[in-house]
């Protein structure tokens, strides 16, 4: 199984290099490595604390947001291209990815 390297920028602008396994939920990787304030709702699309922007290659390889996610992103006033990390599964075709955390309190 090939590990995936993620370069994450947190909301303070600090960089983190993390590894993930194919099939991981991105929100879980961010929560377990960066902050336990990420993913408060457990992936129910009701907190927005997992909001991210992905690098364009990664983003384009994914199916777009579902209805509930799109609606929540709109309610959060999310910038274009933002995703909820709880709805993103790390794919096995991915070698590395860049993630910017967008949620601020």
Partner 1 sequence: MNDTGPVLPRGYDEMPIPFGWFAVALSTELAAGEVKTLEYFATEFVIWRGEQGEVHAVDPFCPHLGAHLGVNSDVVGDDLRCPFHHWRFNGEGGVTDIPYTEVIPPKLKRSCLPAWPVCEVDGVIFVWYHPRRAAPKWEVARLPECPEGEWILAETHDWVIDIHCQEITENGQDYAHFGAVHGVPFAPAGEMKIDGWVRRSTVVAEMETPRGLMTGKIDVTATGPGQSMTEFIDVTHVVQSQQVTPIDAHRTHLRWQMYHIPGLSDGRLRVTAARMRDLVKQVNQDIPIWNRKRFHDKPLLVKGDGPILAYRQQYAKYYDFDDDAEPGNIAARH
Interface positions with partner 1 (CB under 8 A): 45-48, 68, 71-72, 74-76
- For residue 44, the minimal CB distance to partner 1 (Å) is 8
- For residue 6, the minimal CB distance to partner 1 (Å) is 26
Q: Which does 50 bind (CB under 5 to 8 A by kind): ligand FES, partner 1, none?
A: ligand FES
Which position among 47, 78, 90, 101 is part of the footprint of ligand FES (CB under 6 A)? 47
User: Minimal CA–CA distance to 85: which of 59, 62, 52, 56?
Assistant: 52
- For residue 76, the minimal CB distance to partner 1 (Å) is 5
Q: Does 65 bind ligand FES (CB under 6 A)?
A: no
Q: What are the residues whose beta carbons fall under 8 Å from the beta carbon of 104, sequence distance 6 or more?
A: 11
Q: Which two tokens stand for residue 11?
A: 């909301």
Q: Shortest Cβ contact with ligand FES: which residue? A: 86
- For residue 77, the minimal CB distance to partner 1 (Å) is 8
60/62 Cα distance (integer angstroms): 5
Q: Does 90 bind ligand FES (CB under 6 A)?
A: no
Contact 15, 6 (CB under 8 A): no
15/11 Cα distance (integer angstroms): 10
Contact 84, 49 (CB under 8 A): no
């Amino acid at each position: 199984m090939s590990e995936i390297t993620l370069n994450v920028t947190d909301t303070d602008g600090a960089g983190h290099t993390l590894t993930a396994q194919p099939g991981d939920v991105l929100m879980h990787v961010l929560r377990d490595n960066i902050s336990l304030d990420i993913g408060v709702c457990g992936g129910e699309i009701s907190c927005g604390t997992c909001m991210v922007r992905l690098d364009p290659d990664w983003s384009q390889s994914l199916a777009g947001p579902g209805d509930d996610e799109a609606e929540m992103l709109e309610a959060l006033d999310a910038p274009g291209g933002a995703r909820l990390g709880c709805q993103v599964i790390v794919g096995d075709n991915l070698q590395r990815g860049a993630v910017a955390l967008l949620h601020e309190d």
